[in-house]
Structure 1
């Protein structure tokens, strides 16, 4: 991780990509988050591989196929250099690495840490399966164009033991985390740490797992040779993660060499934070290892200001770089003598501490990253010179790139067909699936627009009207470089299909290629827009969204309002119950949420601050405004038989119009009570309600049906078409919106388009939409509203009522453009950070 960050940080004009294996799904978001300050998200690519079994050995068809599929996936990015950060994994995990299995021309670099198992096979390669795996990786290592050794010794070992040409080897060295540094610890912090690990006095420290090359036994015997008076002043403290049996052996060794019970202290797991503190507190750090690729513990201790002595073998002298601080790790008397000097000679000890800080300062990740980049540049320049000498040209046009991609694909398929190992249909299916997922060249990016509800039932109003209108505009005017595709959730498996059959019924945009509703074919850079509200099914489909986001598909959801979580009593139980899990899921899986007003985006931020949202990354918050040109949303036609009489009655006196479903939050009960009060006071005014009966107001609906003023001064028009509603608007004097909560407030704009004045409840969203173009009221009582209507009637009579005609509004084309600007031009309203991100 540190090397990758250093390479990216120092890359200059070079384009760096991070390539991840999707068989480690839990790491993808963590790694993306680790590079959020350095690399655009689209430069982190995830390749797909067929699932593997552990301990599979090399005689496994799927393992061989996976190596080739990985090389093909990386080749699709058309890289100049590929760097493999760790080659030898993959026997007990899902790592897949290979060098030139499929593409010998792919310039490949590898970091080499050490050859310890190769040089000590009797100890490290006793398992036949692992030996076969390891030796296969050694052969792959020999094919690398660039070998990045973590020490000069490590590179020299590769040259002498493996015969790798020295011109291919670069010593990039290594470094330690910035966390390893001198720190001040209070007496109470020191005491707490001593108590935690059983330390009772100043201590000599080492770190290393319990295995022969770490030479912990040698250190215990050497320590036992110190004068007893010196040992009374100090303890030997080993951070070694010893098992119970290993601890028993080490304690027995100490006892048999005359060490008292509290002279040796063993620590199991130690956190990084505690390790830094222990390095700072130790009087002397001893590193007695017999063989190291670099010797990181010695450098960690030096970076913390510890006095450090260590072995004169392998790479360790490169780290300590001081002859009088190095001992022969097999000469236990010499090791003991150097410890005695460091513990008894204050001047020598002080010089070791000063040397530590100065020497550690010469190692940095930036320097390591720069050396790696220089090696890449030199190898690439050499390769270009070879290509030029052969009079070959690099692909220039996209058609040449496409032709090369086709050749690569054929080469992969041919190579897979030649693997002579037993296979199953499952091997072929999972491999084909991965190959398809990894193909990049020649594929257009896609914008998936969710129409899961609309394609089954078009309510012609509310969310379905928005979904249809925005979809039509996106199909008519797709964003540059993106194919707009309607998609639907297949509820039987909770995964998405193309909504091709529905698309054909719209008759807008290109015709779908496939007849059937095929499964989505996604790739990095695609965008999913959750335009339709599928609240009940998004939580069960969460894993689909998580997988797509891992692949690099951007996930965005439109949020129409948060009312079901803010006021569950306003909604049917089924909505009130399914809405909170939906909101929690979309907050977890999305890159951004887009409200249909600024007020909704503000409500979202408040909810996120209090809601239990599980995410690493920040969450973008945006909003757009709905369109209001009814012709663009395929308006419904038709007039009722008594249309003429109704319109005449509405014109006969001032008519106050309400538009919207009759349900608890819309305020109809307060409105009717207010008008009953007005009529009792002989105010000559009509109330017209346009909207079907919703849920939860059965008694009230019956009251409306049987009201004594029904069809005299009270008109309830259910199932009105857009055509009839248009005429009702024209016959009315003012629009009244008494709703207690809305995501947007389209009736205000529809009224303004017709020049109809507006009386509205004073809500933030209505202020956002109507501004100074409406007459606002407050209060929930019938009297408060009756007074407001009277006040408006008076103001209107005197010519002082606010006029709506100047209210700004959007067409659906402009509304769709606002969404495009948020999605593609990053015109976000704000960002919400998870609590962890604040720390």
Structure 2
């Protein structure tokens, strides 16, 4: 049994009060049952983002994340009927997509302005159950329903509740009220009761002496002025809560008793309630030190107040349950409460109850507890006894037991009743005289489908009624009129193939959905006729497919990547003709794709064959042995191979080879013509091109052998092959595509990848063995007769179409039509877009593979050629390449800018980046559960501003991960401009709030863990932190080119073996100042090492820049390239004497590892990340220097060592390629451990 718990009760206005706490506890307890036959899911209102995120996190370890569902509401101007109708449609869409057996509503009476949307779906496949807390407004209308609008709303909800399949009351009192007031039968009512979290509310009563000790703690913790023993009450301004009665009773206690008491009341406190409460205190001459109003308290504070109170008092005169009483009892607090309604069920007695309308009774009960210790202790013991009986486990068991019984007794019948009129069906397909095999197929299918439907054939633009159907009872309608009258049809059926006749259907089905029959699984042929064909490839498979098409030598790349996702997604269901096509669906779109499919065998009639003599006459040929191949000619039909095999066999002189079908491929035409002309007798090979039906049938009467070959299957079922079998024609075929379900007893079955010689041998064997041919022909006919009967296949069509239309996922489509007719849909374009966005966000029903959204926002705006952006470019390129062959995920580079409200696919950027011939457009992404968001680019300002969007992605089931290059602004803020520390802190607080951080070095990971342990230790419990190693190879695709004007001078110095380079932006942490000071010391002594600084000017270095440019050695021994191409940088790596890496802090140090491709010696500061890099390379010397003098000494010692060892530079190790680095990153991305 699959139960979907609508947990909006824990999100609405009462989320923190009784209903919210009850809803949450009930859901937790149902999950905790862990019954084999019970599958539990949760439904949340994602538009209430804060509570939705809290609840998702709350249930993180309690249930699978794919069992948490949610919906978004359209933008609203007001809570109008139209808004509520639209919102209900979206909510119901999500419910239907889960396909539950039961929807359990944890709260039904939630006002529209609360932001929740709760409704009952009548006539649905699932059972509707409601948790009912009370009917208090109905019982006391004079108090609660004085406003006519509110009364109408409440009474409407009461009317709706009667439609529920099961009402689950939280008390016997609520159950009896429901039965009496709503006239609900006993079989639709169940008592489930209430419970208390006895693990949480379980510290036991502390007693008066301990309570006194806790007063100061509570006063400090809650900022309360509790200085005495106190009476405690959880209440509200609601009249039934009887708050005035309690305050009056407290004021009337004897002075000797009240002198040592305070009254503490937890209730909502705002401006309006404060006025009311202050008047009450004035009325009874009490002060704020006598009566303390706490306002809202969290559960920890509430528990402590229960534990610390001297006595818990609950004066309500009407309750559905009285949860605070149970919680207080569970904490061991002595309790007294009203002897009315549901409260009487708590083992009410003279000892623990009072009359809520009798002040003297309340005063006496409080006084007795304080004055008589025996009564006090008796209440303490009674609390413990009663609380133990109210467990949430028992509530959950009663609830699930009731639901199970109800579902077992409920049957839904969707069968058509006798006498009911056939449903109307719009039929879209090519039909005769169109030159299409599907046209002939549809002609036959329609004849049989009329038994089940009243069929209207939808004609293409400017077409007239088909003469083929002139005598039938069919209706005809143009495409334009179909669009207008679409809502009038009960069912719509589209047929898709790869000819031009289907091109209009590609857009029609996306706007006028129906069931799609895919005669070819891949629709590359018809899609190639569209101007936006590249978009179809991207939509179906992601940018990797477009990249492969651009860079592959394989001409049939479109076949390799079937272009059909828009059709599959737009359809209400997909009909395929074979398990082979179904396997292709599984291969490309997984379980989600196959779930949307049904297989209906290709129907085929057994024809009445024409007498051979008549056929020969009709064809005007002599009586010769004929080998025939039927169907259009194409490379995939292996026509060239057949001619070659036939020509090399003995049949070349004893038979005629005929191709009965159309030839339109110009390249193939040339190849066939050339090959045929080389034959000794070219006239023995005949290509008929397109023939009419009578001529087509005549060839079956004269042929002795058929040869139907195939490669590169699009997932089609060969109608021509079935024609051969139906015509009792012995056939040779190869084991490819849909022929996999044929046996060697039914056809001569060659291997999938056969040789020409093997095909020749097969032809000769068939030619020489007439008996063998007859046996194959007989078995082939039997196969078609048993598997492809039109009457059976058409009945299967009907059952599958009806199954698709019964599918609950269709409800939005039909419901939208109903809203449209009632004028409840948005009328403005903005409103319509908001509605559609909410619908799509709530449940993306695309069967596409999950996406990896790679955030490259900074790169799309500006490429500053920094180290980080070099990483981004290389990782991005390799992710695109790596996922060419990996079908588990698709790659979607995305971006956002400050003015955008949603992430978009970076179509324009990636088209340029990959140099695609066909340009793709930017398009708003449509995330779905299972997607991954990878923050590859560093955007410290942008990401915090878009936190709400990222939070929304999480709610949609997207796993969010960020690459962390370093956290130096957090650890060393002194190196950055004012404000950078706080901004970066904001970024890090944002990114560390999601699922995973991926660091570019072990050192950075260690710093991240240490920082989080210090400031956000709780995040380490759920946040995954990993590291991977960057590549250091330098790819030609990523290089900039050009030499600077000073190149000749620089290279001359390099030849003199005295050039040392520093690579990186000139900023404080890079250590340029100390290096410059050290080199100045050497230069003043007459030393001549040259220092070349390569990098742009950064921040907080004005004084340093002035020193550089005013240095007397500038442009002699001191050089600065502010703009250096990659090409020249590589030249310098190869020819410089050494690289100086003097950074005080780094995330990795890309120049250090890149230089090792050239074996360049490195003089690097001894910091953690350089120690880490040093483990992999042998050309790195680490130094420690607190002053320029110390650095100078270390440098001279290192340089002298270089001069002693004058051997040629050698690479430390083979380059770490970006391909391997990306694969390591991929493993981390997908690692859920």
| Band of TM-score, shorter chain | 0.7 to 0.9
Q: How far 1:432 sits from its partner (Å)?
A: 2.0
CA distance in 2, matches of 1:446, 1:388: 37
Task: Summarize the Cα distance change of 1:309–1:467 in structure 2 as closer, same or farther, 3 Å threshold.
Answer: closer
Q: Which consecutive unaligned segments of at least 5 residues does structure 1 have?
A: 256-260, 828-839
CA distance in 2, matches of 1:34, 1:211: 30
Instruction: Give the structure 2 partner of residue 498 of structure 1.
Output: 905
CA distance in 1, matches of 2:857, 2:217: 59
Q: 1:588 aligns with which of 990, 999, 1019?
A: 990
Task: Summarize the Cα distance change of 1:670–1:160 in structure 2 as closer, same or farther, 3 Å threshold.
Answer: same
Instruction: Give the structure 1 partner of residue 399 of structure 2.
Output: 372
Q: 2:183 aligns with which of 155, 160, 163?
A: 163
1:453 match: secondary structure: helix
Q: Which has the larger radius of gyration?
A: 2
Between 302-311 and 134-143, report the one with greater CA deviation.
302-311
Matches within 5 A, 1:107-256: 107-177=127-197, 178-179=200-201, 181-184=203-206, 185-189=210-214, 208-209=235-236, 213-214=240-241, 239=265
- Answering whether residue 854 of structure 2 is matched by residue 449 of structure 1, we say yes
Task: Summarize the Cα distance change of 1:817–1:163 in structure 2 as closer, same or farther, 3 Å threshold.
Answer: farther
Q: How far 1:88 sits from its partner (Å)?
A: 0.4
2:168 match: secondary structure: strand
CA distance in 2, matches of 1:330, 1:662: 81
Matches within 5 A, 1:235-314: 239=265, 267-269=292-294, 271=297, 287=314, 289-314=316-341
Contact 2:106-2:130 within 8 A present in 1 as well: yes
Instruction: Give the structure 2 partner of residue 623 of structure 1.
Output: 1027
- Answering whether residue 863 of structure 2 is matched by residue 458 of structure 1, we say yes
Task: Summarize the Cα distance change of 1:756–1:343 in structure 2 as closer, same or farther, 3 Å threshold.
Answer: closer
CA distance in 1, matches of 2:1185, 2:1046: 36
Task: Summarize the Cα distance change of 1:814–1:583 in structure 2 as closer, same or farther, 3 Å threshold.
Answer: farther
Q: How far 1:49 sits from its partner (Å)?
A: 0.4
CA distance in 2, matches of 1:390, 1:153: 44
Task: Summarize the Cα distance change of 1:214–1:577 in structure 2 as closer, same or farther, 3 Å threshold.
Answer: closer
Instruction: Give the structure 2 partner of residue 830 of structure 1.
Output: none
Instruction: Give the structure 1 partner of residue 815 of structure 2.
Output: 412
CA distance in 2, matches of 1:357, 1:207: 19
CA distance in 2, matches of 1:681, 1:240: 80
Q: How far 1:568 sits from its partner (Å)?
A: 6.0
Between 346-355 and 79-88, report the one with greater CA deviation.
346-355
Q: How far 1:606 sits from its partner (Å)?
A: 5.4
2:341 match: secondary structure: coil
CA distance in 1, matches of 2:231, 2:1067: 76
Instruction: Give the structure 1 partner of residue 1109 of structure 2.
Output: 702
Contact 2:351-2:379 within 8 A present in 1 as well: no
Task: Summarize the Cα distance change of 1:793–1:345 in structure 2 as closer, same or farther, 3 Å threshold.
Answer: closer
Task: Summarize the Cα distance change of 1:616–1:291 in structure 2 as closer, same or farther, 3 Å threshold.
Answer: farther
Can you list the C-alpha shifts for 1:473-501, whole angstroms capped at 9, x where unaligned?
11112376432211222344464322101
Task: Summarize the Cα distance change of 1:510–1:388 in structure 2 as closer, same or farther, 3 Å threshold.
Answer: farther
CA distance in 1, matches of 2:98, 2:415: 25
Q: How far 1:70 sits from its partner (Å)?
A: 1.4
Q: 1:814 aligns with which of 1220, 1228, 1231?
A: 1220
Between 457-466 and 242-251, report the one with greater CA deviation.
242-251
CA distance in 1, matches of 2:364, 2:226: 24
Between the two structures, name the one with larger relative contact order (CA 8 Å, sep ≥ 6): 1
Q: 1:532 aligns with which of 913, 930, 937?
A: 937
CA distance in 2, matches of 1:347, 1:564: 65
CA distance in 1, matches of 2:1050, 2:228: 97
Instruction: Give the structure 2 partner of residue 88 of structure 1.
Output: 109
CA distance in 2, matches of 1:465, 1:662: 18
CA distance in 1, matches of 2:370, 2:860: 80
1:585 match: secondary structure: helix
Q: How far 1:376 sits from its partner (Å)?
A: 3.8
- Answering whether residue 893 of structure 2 is matched by residue 486 of structure 1, we say yes
Instruction: Give the structure 2 partner of residue 775 of structure 1.
Output: 1181
Q: How far 1:374 sits from its partner (Å)?
A: 3.2
TM-score w.r.t. structure 2 length? 0.57
2:383 match: secondary structure: helix
- Answering whether residue 927 of structure 2 is matched by residue 522 of structure 1, we say yes
Contact 2:224-2:292 within 8 A present in 1 as well: yes
Task: Summarize the Cα distance change of 1:471–1:509 in structure 2 as closer, same or farther, 3 Å threshold.
Answer: farther
CA distance in 1, matches of 2:240, 2:94: 39
CA distance in 1, matches of 2:898, 2:233: 58
2:153 match: secondary structure: helix
Q: How far 1:744 sits from its partner (Å)?
A: 1.0
Instruction: Give the structure 2 partner of residue 832 of structure 1.
Output: none
RMSD: 4.7
Task: Summarize the Cα distance change of 1:730–1:28 in structure 2 as closer, same or farther, 3 Å threshold.
Answer: same
CA distance in 2, matches of 1:279, 1:89: 29
Contact 1:675-1:786 within 8 A present in 2 as well: yes
Contact 2:842-2:956 within 8 A present in 1 as well: no
Contact 2:162-2:184 within 8 A present in 1 as well: yes
- Answering whether residue 72 of structure 2 is matched by residue 48 of structure 1, we say yes
Contact 1:469-1:633 within 8 A present in 2 as well: no
Q: How far 1:431 sits from its partner (Å)?
A: 1.8
- Answering whether residue 410 of structure 2 is matched by residue 3 of structure 1, we say no
2:1192 match: secondary structure: helix
Instruction: Give the structure 2 partner of residue 556 of structure 1.
Output: 961
2:1139 match: secondary structure: strand
CA distance in 2, matches of 1:728, 1:204: 82
- Answering whether residue 90 of structure 2 is matched by residue 69 of structure 1, we say yes
Q: How far 1:465 sits from its partner (Å)?
A: 1.4
Task: Summarize the Cα distance change of 1:802–1:284 in structure 2 as closer, same or farther, 3 Å threshold.
Answer: farther
Can you list the C-alpha shifts for 1:58-84, whole angstroms capped at 9, x where unaligned?
x62111221222111232333333222
Q: How far 1:186 sits from its partner (Å)?
A: 4.7
CA distance in 2, matches of 1:194, 1:699: 60
Task: Summarize the Cα distance change of 1:488–1:233 in structure 2 as closer, same or farther, 3 Å threshold.
Answer: closer
Between 111-120 and 458-467, report the one with greater CA deviation.
458-467
Contact 1:292-1:316 within 8 A present in 2 as well: yes
Can you list the C-alpha shifts for 1:317-352, whole angstroms capped at 9, x where unaligned?
322265875677678898888778767776565444
CA distance in 2, matches of 1:739, 1:211: 66
1:366 match: secondary structure: helix
Can you list the C-alpha shifts for 1:201-227, whole angstroms capped at 9, x where unaligned?
97877654466645677789999999x
Q: How far 1:415 sits from its partner (Å)?
A: 2.9
Instruction: Give the structure 2 partner of residue 789 of structure 1.
Output: 1195
Q: How far 1:470 sits from its partner (Å)?
A: 0.7
Between 157-166 and 332-341, report the one with greater CA deviation.
332-341
CA distance in 2, matches of 1:787, 1:230: 86
Contact 1:113-1:293 within 8 A present in 2 as well: yes
Q: How far 1:809 sits from its partner (Å)?
A: 6.1
Q: How far 1:566 sits from its partner (Å)?
A: 5.4
Q: Which consecutive unaligned segments of at least 5 residues does structure 2 have?
A: 1-23, 268-272, 418-572, 575-590, 598-803
Q: How far 1:526 sits from its partner (Å)?
A: 3.2
Can you list the C-alpha shifts for 1:512-548, whole angstroms capped at 9, x where unaligned?
8xx4312333344433323223344444444444444
